[in-house]
């Protein structure tokens, strides 16, 4: 769980930097928001007994969408525009989600290679 949190913080704060945000307050917001939402999400995903991968994937999409809205509401404190807050939240979460999928794919790919050695 902590690895996922650290990776999320690096990716999302890195994206904020790439998008040109320089004020330290946005990074503090990001760290606080992501610590709460990431730990809650990963705790749930690790402890919920999923029956199928399709159900797991569906729950992930629903929860990630909910997190975009929750984080967007917190970013509203910084951006003062709901549209901009949701847009930033969506970009940051999509980026970290996709990079996480790619990393999991390669991690599992290495595992598969080890099995068939």
What radius of gyration, in Å, describes the C-alpha atoms of the chain?
Answer: 16
Cα–Cα nearest to 75, from 59, 98, 91, 96: 91
* Number of neighbouring beta carbons within 10 Å of residue 84: 14
Task: Give residue 114's pLDDT band: very low, low, confident or very high (50, 70, 90).
Answer: low
| Full domain range(s) for residue 70 | 2-115
Number of structural domains (the chain) is 1
What is the maximum alpha-carbon separation in the chain? Answer: 55
In the chain, which ranges are continuous DSSP H helix?
Answer: 2-18, 24-47, 53-79, 82-115
Least confident segment among 52-61, 75-84, 104-113: 104-113
């Amino acid at each position: 769980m902590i690895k996922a949190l650290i990776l999320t913080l690096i990716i999302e704060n890195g994206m904020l930097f790439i998008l040109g945000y320089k004020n330290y307050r946005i990074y503090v917001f990001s760290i606080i928001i992501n610590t709460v939402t990431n730990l809650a999400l990963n705790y749930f995903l690790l402890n919920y007994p999923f029956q199928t991968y399709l159900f797991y994937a569906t729950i992930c999409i629903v929860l990630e969408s909910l997190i975009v809205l929750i984080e967007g509401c917190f970013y509203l404190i910084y951006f003062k525009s709901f549209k901009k807050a949701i847009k930033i939240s969506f970009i940051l979460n999509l980026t970290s989600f996709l990079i996480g999928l790619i990393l999991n794919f390669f991690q599992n790919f290495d595992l598969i290679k080890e099995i068939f050695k």
